[in-house]
Structure 1
Amino acid sequence: MKCRAGIAWECEGYINRYLEECGINCDSITPQMMAAPFFKGRLVALVIPTGFANKMYSGLLPALCASENRIRKFVEKGGKVISFGAMSENEEAYKWLPFCTKYVHEYFGSPIKIDCNSPFSEIMEDFNIENIECDGYFTDFDEQTDVIAQTKEGKAIMIGKKYGEGYFIVTSIHEFPSRSFIRNFCTGEAEILF
């Protein structure tokens, strides 16, 4: 089994350290690298940290949009993508995904319900799910989109969609994912060309 993730951001940061502490080999993928046709990383998963669409934190969104086809091909071949909250009201924040959703940016803490039948249900395994911090929620997605976690009021805070051989996960949970979740998410039979 291979355990490797690409972290999409301008520089190494807290998420890189956390994943490395979880035993995951990490590659930093800057916006310039992501959009460059000559970049040929081999990954199991791509991690897009919180704040990627907020210009105060990141310049990643234009690279995600420019790399839309590359990301889709990666997932079709078995790669996995997890995107954390955009932290922006920008309606283009998730246009690079192969499915529609709308992100409502709003900070709140809430008890959550997790679909225990989902292979991604262990995301908050290390936490008390009676008060999880979130930076928003998702609306306007189709019936084929899996709601993996939601607030007690029914706000979707983690959705996923199978795409080809891989999977897209989008979450507004404003916490590090559990160690077992991120290890499993970033582990696969083979590294996929990005």
Structure 2
Amino acid sequence: MSCRAGFVWETPQPFVRYIEDCGIPCELVTPYVLAAPFYRGSFTCLIIPTGFGNPAYCRLLPALRASADRIRRYVENGGNLLVFGAMIDKEGVYDWLPFSVTYRHAFSPRNVSCSGTGLAGDLVHDYDPTCIECDGTFSPHEGEATGTDGGSAIVIEKKVGAGTVLVTSVHEYPSRGFIQKFCGSGTQTLF
């Protein structure tokens, strides 16, 4: 099976290079391209990095909202979606996802306990789980909390159709094994 990631941001980032170093070809998808109705990228995984909701960092949120239906269809058809913390305490920054998520911005090291399918454990595998930098928590949410800190959701997972959405406030690059597994388990799907 062919794996290919799409990294959604305004400018090239070292994160793209990291994904490629994990053996996954990665394309930068700018907000203008993301929201363009003619764009037809094909990916096994889309990655929305930390800070997408904060206008001090980028102008990505309007494009995500404009693409909400396409994002939902992409995941329903088997694509995987990895979404990080919005980096702003503002109502509705995750309103473009196909399920409800509320984010509370609070940057601090946390003791992350993982359960469920193993995706949360794979995500933080390269780090000391007793002291992982996180930028917030999720409550309430409609997903399954597979990574928590004393009951606060740090990683939530939700199956949507044939794909998986993983939302996390972990403020570190995901482990190499996670990138390979998550990008490799999605179906290459048109966006």
The interval holding the TM-score normalised by the smaller chain is over 0.9
Distance in 2 of aligned mates of 1:82 and 1:149 = 14
Q: The residue matched to 2:3 in structure 1 has which SS?
A: strand
Contact 2:78-2:186 at 8 Å conserved across structures? no
> Structure 1 residue 90: deviation in Å?
1.9
Match of 2:158 among 158, 161, 183: 161
Distance in 1 of aligned mates of 2:32 and 2:90 = 21
Tell me the TM-score normalised to structure 2 length. Answer: 0.96
How many residues align? The count is 190
**Kindly tell me: are residues 132 and 68 of structure 1, through their superposed partners in 2, closer, same or farther at Cα, counting changes over 3 Å?**
same
Distance in 1 of aligned mates of 2:100 and 2:146 = 16
CA RMSD in angstroms, aligned pairs only:
1.1
Distance in 2 of aligned mates of 1:128 and 1:149 = 14
Q: The residue matched to 1:73 in structure 2 has which SS?
A: helix
Q: How does 1:104-123 map to 2 (within 5 A)?
A: 104-115=104-115, 117-120=116-119, 121-123=121-123
**Structure 2 counterpart of 1:148:** 146
Distance in 2 of aligned mates of 1:110 and 1:41 = 36
Contact 2:79-2:187 at 8 Å conserved across structures? no
Q: The residue matched to 1:86 in structure 2 has which SS?
A: coil
Contact 1:2-1:188 at 8 Å conserved across structures? no
Q: The residue matched to 2:96 in structure 1 has which SS?
A: coil
Query: Runs of at least 4 residues of structure 1 off by over 4 A?
Result: none
> Structure 1 residue 190: deviation in Å?
4.1
Match of 1:172 among 165, 169, 191: 169
Q: The residue matched to 2:6 in structure 1 has which SS?
A: strand
**Structure 2 counterpart of 1:186:** 183
Greater CA deviation, 73-82 or 183-192?
183-192
Write the deviation string for residues 100-131 of structure 1: whole angstroms up to 9, x where unpaired.
1210001111111000x414131111111110
Distance in 1 of aligned mates of 2:86 and 2:51 = 5
Distance in 2 of aligned mates of 1:12 and 1:155 = 32
**Structure 1 counterpart of 2:69:** 69
Q: The residue matched to 1:140 in structure 2 has which SS?
A: strand
- In structure 1, stretches of 5+ residues that fail to align are none
> Structure 1 residue 189: deviation in Å?
6.6
Q: The residue matched to 1:28 in structure 2 has which SS?
A: strand
Contact 1:113-1:150 at 8 Å conserved across structures? yes
Distance in 1 of aligned mates of 2:32 and 2:124 = 32
> Structure 1 residue 41: deviation in Å?
0.3
Distance in 1 of aligned mates of 2:32 and 2:82 = 20
Tell me the TM-score normalised to structure 1 length. Answer: 0.95
Contact 1:44-1:187 at 8 Å conserved across structures? yes
Contact 1:149-1:156 at 8 Å conserved across structures? yes
Contact 1:43-1:193 at 8 Å conserved across structures? yes
Write the deviation string for residues 110-164 of structure 1: whole angstroms up to 9, x where unpaired.
111000x41413111111111010000000123xx2111011x211000011000
Q: Partner amino acid for 2:141? A: F
Q: The residue matched to 1:150 in structure 2 has which SS?
A: strand
